[in-house]
Each structure stands twice: as C-alpha cells, then as structure tokens.
C-alpha cells in the first residue's frame, strides 16, 4: 500500500459558530454595519493633518518629561488623588458589607434582597464621570465630590461580588457552625467570613487600584485629584508637564499592581 | 493550634500571640492612615456646601421632571455616534491587541528578553490611562469629534484585550500544541491549528465584554469633546436644561442595559 494516495475526504477546521446561516449572517451584518458607521462618521482630515505636528511635539515631550516647573501642582494633585483613593476604598468597602450581605440570596429575606440588589444595580449603571458631575453639583467643587463618587462606584462593584461570593460559599460549613448553636453574628463571623475573606481582600486591593485610576479622571469635571492638573496642562499645551503626570500615573498603577499581587499571594 | 492556658484549663483561640499582635498593629496603622486622609480631605472641603446637599438634591430632582421627551429627536444621531465610537474602537483595539498578546505571552513571544517587555509596557500604559484621558489628549492633538473618541476607546482597550488574551495563551493545553508539532507542522501552522482554536472562545468573550464596557465609557467621552451623547449631556448641564438632562440619562441607561443584555447573551452562547 503506497503512502501517497490522497484520501478522498478532506479535513476542514470546524468553525467557531457551527450554524452556517448565523455565521454568514453575522459577517454580512458586520459588513453592512461597518459601511454605515464609517459612512456617517464625520472626520475632518485637514484638522487631523494639522494636529500631526502637535502629536509629534507631544511624543517628543516624553523625552524628557518636565517634572520640575509644575512640581507643586503635580505633587498636590497626586497626593489628593492618593488620599481620595484610600478613603473612598475604605468607606466604599465598609458600606458594601451590609449591602453585599443583603444582596446575597441565601442570607437575606426576599424584600431586603430586592432592595439591596436595586441599590447595587443603580450604582453600577452610570459611568463614574456622570456620577461625579452630579456629586459636584450636590457637594460643591473639590475632593469631597470625588470621594462620594468613588465610594458609590465601589459599592456597586464590591457589594455585587461579595454577594455572589456568599451565594457560592460551601453550605456545609455554614450548617456545621449553625449546629453548634451559634447566633446570627457568630455564624457570620465563623462560617461566612472565613470562606469569603481571602477573595474579598484581593478584590479590595483590586478596587483600590481601580479607584486610583478613576481618581485621575474625576478631576476633569471638578471633583478633585490629579485630573484637574492634567486637564489644565492640556489646555495650556504644556505637553512636557502632561507627559510627566501621565508617567507618574502609569508608575503608580504599575507599583499598585505589583504590590497588590504580592499582598494577595501573602494573604491566600 | 493556638491555645491559651488559664490555670489548669486550656482555651482554644483563633490566633497565636504574634498573629494577634500583627493584626492589631495592622488595624492601628490602617486606621491612622484613613484618619489622616480624612483630615486632608476635610481641610479642602467647604462643609457648608456638603450640609446643603440634601436641599440641592431636592432642587435638581424637582427641575428634572417631567423629562422633555421631544428632545429625543435630537439625540438619535449622538446615540448612533456613541455606539459607533464603542464598536469601531473595540474593532481597532482587537486588530492591534492580537499581535501584542502573542508577543507578550511567554510561550509564543519571539524574544523573552526584548520583545516581551515592550509588549508588556504597551499593555500597562494602555491600561493605566483612562479612556477619558486618552480622549483629552487626542482632542488636543487631532481635534474634537468622533474620530478622537474612536481612537481613545481603541487605545484604552488594547491593554485590556491584550492582557486577558495573553494570559489565555499562556494557559493553553500543551499536549495539543505538541500533537500538532508532531505532525510536522511549521510554526505558523502550529499557531493556526494548535493555539488559535484553544483561545478562540476567550478571545470572543473578552472582545464582547470590552465592547460592553466601551459603550458605557463612550457615553462620557463627549465631556472633553470627543463625540457621542456626552456632548449633549455637557451642553444641557451647562445650560441648566435639567429636563433635557433627564432624557439623556434615560437614553444612556437604556443603551447600557441593552448592551449588557447583548453581551450577556453572546457570551452565554459562546461559553
């Protein structure tokens, strides 16, 4: 038997979407959509072309960035962002605990469950910036508005994940502790908390990270932090100071990411 | 097991002495940090405005009803722009993120020493900078409009997609790759038949997930002039046209809910 006789059947890679009508329909839909979207997009190419030298100047500003001439404003903004991040994470996580417990289906009575779920859903829906605009209107300009924004956003994130984690916990351990005659709070402390704690510490650190990133943005609408400084440097075309601020933000985020990785490993 | 002896009796305890002391010290310094931060913040806060907030909330809420529904006619184009910004931005990000993910993954990168750090740096910088800041930058450089928004969303999403994708590439099943290699396949064939099919579900899931996030983010890009419904939101707030603001917020809410539903459906279908 010779080896080079080709098999009459040819193998073909199985596609990701098995249904051919759906597969080709999706491609067709994508093509139509792209044509429509690109057709209605108004791009002012002359303005884009004018901007390119400015973009070059901006890139050049990174070598070297100017940390010095706006040092006071930058330091002030960064510190403000940092302590806004810390309090809003702590307060947000503290507020998330009751809402998270309330939003866990296996823990809370039905009416409480629905109320807490609603609170979580509402605080998750709107982007942080829209919340920040309103809180600036309510509480006045400054870091307090930013703090409230980030705390509310933290509740939406953390309470939801806490509730899901509690719903996924091992019911046997909870039952065992209950069988010893523990009261509700003892039950919470010895059965529920140890099961969700490691993951929750990790998530709190992750949220700290997110809050710092967000705190760099809420300043654009007047809610304190480094965002305001950054916005001003862009308005004045001081690209070298802007580059310095961006590098500091990237540096802090990297630092936070690495150290939170270490802390998480240490906790678990 | 930590035990405390009191006389001839022994009591069970959760932690031994060192652990307990470390924990207390942690709480002490943690509280100190929070109190210090709070102190800094309250120095920069005008408390009169804060106490006045309930009054303000009532006032603005009163001005927001009833919503001016006929304003919706003006909103269709900005909403279409918002969706385009999110979708085109996501597509752009995907196209750029895929090669970066392969360069960043330890098992597919051409060079661990030179290419991988560059790819990782691109991922980190793209992720650390919020899309609104990217937009702020791009609006100053290439001018206001939808185009700046698309690129801002794209830049922000590169890092997200590439990070999740390269982690998926690093976690693939090696046996399948080895099996393909054993048939005599070249590197490109190994990539196409051994690696790509394994990461395809993750890739599709991540892309749709990011699209969902991008819809949410593109609603605010207009605040810095990068197109979409945010421009109308900003204008209405500045003009104190609160009945228009409530219509815009409801439109944003509806868009976000629909996009979340779509993304949940698609991810459910894939996974």
pLDDT attached to residue B266: 82
Q: Does A27 touch chain B (CB under 8 A)?
A: no
Name the residue among A201, A173, A198 with its Cα closest to residue A106: A173
pLDDT at A150 > cutoff 90? yes
Closest residue of B to A17, CA-based?
A: B270
Residues of B in contact with A86 (CB under 8 A): 33-34, 37
Closest-CA residue of B relative to A190 is B14
Tens-place pLDDT, residues B61-72: 888 888 888 888
Nearest to B133 among A42, A47, A217 (CB): A217
Position A64 confidence tier, pLDDT thresholds 50, 70, 90: confident
The closest of B209, B251, B218, B211 to B82, measured between CA atoms, is B218
Query: Is A139–B50 a contact, with Cβ atoms under 8 angstroms apart?
Result: yes
Q: Token pair of B72, please?
A: 């919706």
As a whole number, mean pLDDT of residues B229-245 equals 89
Q: What is the DSSP string of B181-236?
A: HHTT--HHHHIIIIIHHHHHHHHHHHHHHHHHHHHHHHTTGGGGTSSSTHHHHHHH
B133·A143 Cβ contact <8 A: no
The nearest alpha carbon in chain B to A230 belongs to: B133
pLDDT for position B144: 86
The answer to whether the CB atoms of B129 and A246 lie below 8 A apart is yes
Among candidate residues B250, B140, B196, the one with its CA nearest the CA of residue A54: B140
Mean per-residue pLDDT, B14-19: 81
CA separation for the pair A201, A188 (Å, rounded): 17
pLDDT value at residue B118:
92
Confidence at residue A91, expressed as pLDDT on a 0 to 100 scale: 93
Whole-number pLDDT of residue A23: 83
Residue B105 or residue A12, greater confidence: B105
Interface membership of A125 toward B (CB under 8 Å): yes
Euclidean distance between CA atoms B147 and A37, whole angstroms: 12
CB < 8 Å to A48, chain B: 142-143, 147
Please report residues of B whose CB lies closer than 8 A to that of A232.
none
- How far apart, in whole angstroms, are the C-alpha atoms of residue B60 and residue B217? 24
Percent of chain A with pLDDT over 70: 97
Least confident of A145-159, A253-267, B81-95, B119-133: A253-267
pLDDT at A2 over 60: no
Mean pLDDT, rounded, for A132-138: 89
Which whole number is the average pLDDT over A173-183?
Answer: 87
Max mean pLDDT among A30-39, A53-62, A146-155, B185-194 falls in: A146-155
Q: Which residues lie closer than 8 Å to B199 by C-beta, 6 or more apart?
A: B165, B168, B169, B172
In chain A, residues with a C-beta closer than 8 Å to the C-beta of B197 are 13
- Cis peptide bond upstream of B66, omega within 30: yes
pLDDT higher than 70, residue B160: yes
Q: What is the ipTM of this complex?
A: 0.81
Radius of gyration of chain A (CA): 26
Distance from CA of A90 to the nearest CA of B (A): 8
Tens-digit pLDDT profile for residues A98-121: 999 998 888 888 899 999 988 888
d(CA B203, CA B90) in angstroms, rounded, equals: 12
B61-101 pLDDT, tens digit per residue, is 888 888 888 888 888 999 999 999 999 999 999 999 999 99
User: Which residue carries 């700290």 as its tokens?
Assistant: A208
Amino acid A105: pLDDT: 85
Between CA A196 and CA B131 the distance in angstroms is 32
Reply yes or no on whether the pLDDT at A22 is more than 90: no
Residue A34 has pLDDT above 80, yes or no: yes
Asked whether the beta carbons of residue A79 and residue B34 sit closer than 8 angstroms, the reply is no
Average pLDDT of chain B to the nearest whole number? 88
Of A102 and A42, the structure prediction assigns the larger pLDDT to: A102
Please indicate whether, in this complex, the C-beta atoms of B84 and A216 are within 8 angstroms of each other.
no
Q: What is the pLDDT of residues B198-219, one digit of tens each?
A: 898 889 889 998 998 999 899 9
What span, in angstroms and rounded, lies between the C-alpha atoms of B118 and A246? 18
Name every chain B residue with its beta carbon within 8 A of the beta carbon of A79.
40
pLDDT at B93 (0 to 100): 95
Rounded to two decimals, the pTM is: 0.83
Maximum Cα–Cα distance for chain B, whole Å?
Answer: 83
Binned at pLDDT 50, 70 and 90, residue A17 comes out as confident
What pLDDT does residue B1 have?
61
Residue A120 has which token pair?
């979580």
Beta pairing partners, B6: B9
Residue A1 pLDDT greater than 70, yes or no: no
Please list every residue in chain B whose beta carbon sits closer than 8 Å to the beta carbon of residue A142: 44-46
How much of chain A, in percent, has pLDDT values that exceed 90? 14
Question: pLDDT category, A4, cuts 50, 70, 90?
Answer: low
Rg value, chain B, Cα: 26
């Amino acid at each position: 038997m010779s080896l080079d006789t080709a098999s009459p059947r040819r193998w073909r890679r199985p596609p990701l979407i098995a249904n051919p009508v759906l597969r080709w329909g999706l491609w067709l839909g994508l093509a139509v959509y792209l044509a429509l979207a690109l057709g209605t997009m108004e791009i002012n190419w002359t303005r884009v072309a004018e901007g390119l030298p400015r973009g070059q100047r901006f890139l050049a500003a990174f070598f070297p960035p100017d940390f010095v001439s706006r040092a006071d404003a930058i330091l002030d903004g960064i510190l403000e962002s940092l302590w806004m991040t810390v309090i809003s994470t702590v307060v947000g996580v503290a507020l998330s605990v009751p809402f998270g417990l309330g939003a866990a289906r296996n823990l809370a009575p039905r009416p409480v469950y629905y109320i807490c779920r609603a609170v979580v859903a509402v605080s998750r829906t709107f982007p942080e910036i829209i919340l920040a605009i309103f809180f600036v209107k309510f509480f006045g300009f400054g870091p307090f508005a930013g703090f409230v924004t980030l705390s509310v956003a933290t509740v939406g994130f953390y309470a939801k994940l806490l509730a899901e984690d509690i719903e996924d916990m091992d019911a046997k351990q909870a039952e065992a502790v209950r069988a010893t005659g523990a009261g509700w709070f003892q039950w919470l402390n010895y059965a529920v908390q140890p099961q969700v704690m490691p993951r929750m510490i990790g998530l709190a650190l992750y949220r700290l990270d997110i809050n710092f990133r967000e705190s760099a943005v809420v300043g654009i609408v007047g809610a304190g932090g480094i965002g305001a400084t950054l916005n001003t440097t862009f308005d004045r075309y001081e690209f070298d100071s802007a580059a310095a601020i961006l590098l500091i933000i990237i540096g802090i985020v990297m630092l936070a990411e690495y150290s939170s990785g270490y802390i998480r490993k240490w906790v678990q | 097991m930590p035990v405390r002896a009191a006389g001839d009796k022994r009591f069970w305890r959760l932690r031994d002495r060192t652990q307990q002391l470390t924990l207390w010290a942690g709480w002490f310094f943690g509280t100190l940090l929070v109190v210090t931060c709070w102190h800094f913040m309250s120095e920069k806060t005008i408390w009169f405005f804060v106490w006045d907030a309930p009054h303000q909330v009532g006032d603005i809420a009163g001005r927001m009803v009833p919503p001016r529904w006929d304003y919706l006619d003006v909103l269709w184009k900005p909403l279409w722009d918002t969706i385009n910004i999110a979708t085109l931005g996501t597509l752009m990000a995907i196209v750029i993120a895929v090669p970066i993910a392969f360069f960043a993954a330890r098992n597919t990168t051409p060079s661990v020493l030179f290419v991988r750090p560059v790819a990782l740096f691109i991922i980190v910088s793209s992720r650390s900078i919020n899309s609104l800041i990217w937009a702020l930058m791009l609006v100053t450089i290439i001018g206001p409009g939808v185009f700046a928004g698309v690129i801002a969303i794209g830049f922000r999403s590169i890092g997200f997609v590439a990070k999740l994708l390269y982690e998926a590439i690093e976690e693939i099943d090696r046996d399948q790759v080895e099996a393909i290699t054993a048939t005599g396949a070249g590197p490109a064939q190994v990539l196409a038949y051994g690696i790509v099919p394994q990461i395809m579900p993750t890739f599709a899931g991540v892309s749709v997930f990011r699209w969902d996030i991008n819809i949410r983010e593109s609603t605010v890009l207009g605040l810095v002039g990068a197109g979409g419904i945010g421009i109308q939101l900003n204008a209405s707030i500045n003009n104190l046209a609160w009945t228009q603001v409530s219509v815009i917020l409801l439109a944003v809410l509806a868009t976000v809910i629909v996009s979340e539903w779509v993304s949940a459906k698609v991810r459910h279908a894939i996974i």
